[in-house]
Chain A
Amino acid sequence: MKGVTLAAAAFLLLVVGSALALRVYRGNKEFKVFLGAFAAAALGYAAAFPLTPPDLGVLPGGWLEPSAPVDFANGLFILALVFHGFWCFAYFACLSPSMGVMVELRARGARGISAEEAIAMQGREEPVNLIFQRRLPKLIAGGYISKEGGAYRLLPPGERVAALGAFLKRLINADAPLVGSRPC
């Protein structure tokens, strides 16, 4: 239980640290903040584990794992899984168009929202709507696509990601390339 207890403390610090870091971060690569926070939490966990007593001064004797490597690996693994969940939740809560609709509806109170209004929230009237404004520059910077004249061309790294994505979609039977059949 020492590993799990330290992992819980590390995760708490990770959440607080990433929330504070996001407030001062000015770029649009938030994943770096999250990964940095996770690296710091994992390092802190790894440093604290050998330096603290097996019972952390508070755990009952029956809660102790006799094998320190198992205890350590278990805590680190749980920390990684919980971090992954937190990371996904943060992106979903802050960036997902679906969550955007729910937050907007909550702010509106009894007033509902039409499909047209929900679409307008995503900047349909702009030449490149919000969905692409965020993604295209990142894909170009990452070397996945390039801009050629008025169009974008897929580059080999992007092709590999597309192949992997198509494979994963086939695994879950979600591969539907036709317009309108199963949109992104």
Chain B
Amino acid sequence: MLKGMVLAWVLVWVWALMQGIVFQLRAPEKAFASMVTWFAPMPVAYVLLHLLTPADLGLLPERFVGGAAALSLLNGLALLVLLFLTGVLFYYHADRSITVRLLIEMARAPQQRMSVDQMQAVCGVEVLMHDRLRTMAMNGFLEERGGGYHLAPKGRLGGVAGAIARRVLAMKAL
């Protein structure tokens, strides 16, 4: 099983490195689509590597080697996908966190001080919501027509998931 785990780790770092280079060269408008595109070859590479490499990868201690190869393959594949999703979440943490953005704006402000009006001008609800509506429309969650926004099929699924989660988890919006 360790072989699959090691291969999954190596490949997710390869992907993260490649994705970092892609983002540096040109920040894509559709970040998630870009991440999926660049990750897509990794499961294929993983399966090939798992099939073609020795059970100990030439470096694993003997006591950690053994067990069903198919189990190691599937476990590593699941791990690879989970690590990818964690990487995607990392991207959104870094890109979308309102709190972090606010602190960065404060660090850049004269004497590192800001009034609420200044905060609202750079990170307030108008700025935020216009951006989010535009992004959701661009990514196919909303459709813009008749001067307003409507749910696209993908957004309808999101709305159902959100409504269920809000009912089950009962977290307060404030």
Question: Which A residues form the contact surface with B (CB < 8 A)?
Answer: 1, 4, 18-19, 22-23, 28, 30, 62-67, 69-71, 74, 77-78, 81-82, 84-85, 88-91, 93-95, 97-103, 105-107, 110, 112-115, 117-119, 122-124, 127-135, 139, 144-145, 148, 150-154, 158-159, 161-163, 165-166, 168-169, 171-174, 177, 179-180, 182-184
Contacts and interface: CB of A to CB of B under 8 A. Distances in A.
Contacts of B145: 112
The A interface, classified by DSSP as helix, strand, loop or mixed, is helix
B27 interface: yes
Contacts of B30: none
B86 interface: yes
Contact of A70 (B1, B23, B24, B85): B1
B78 interface: yes
A162 B169 contact: no
A145 B114 CA distance: 10
Q: When A and B form their complex, which 8 residue pairs have the shortest distance between CB atoms, in order from nearest?
A: A106-B159, A184-B101, A112-B148, A93-B165, A165-B100, A94-B171, A168-B94, A162-B107
Interface of B: 1-2, 5, 20, 23-24, 27, 31, 63-64, 66-68, 71, 75, 78-79, 82-83, 85-86, 89, 91-109, 111-116, 119-133, 135-136, 141-142, 145-151, 155-156, 158-163, 165-166, 168-174
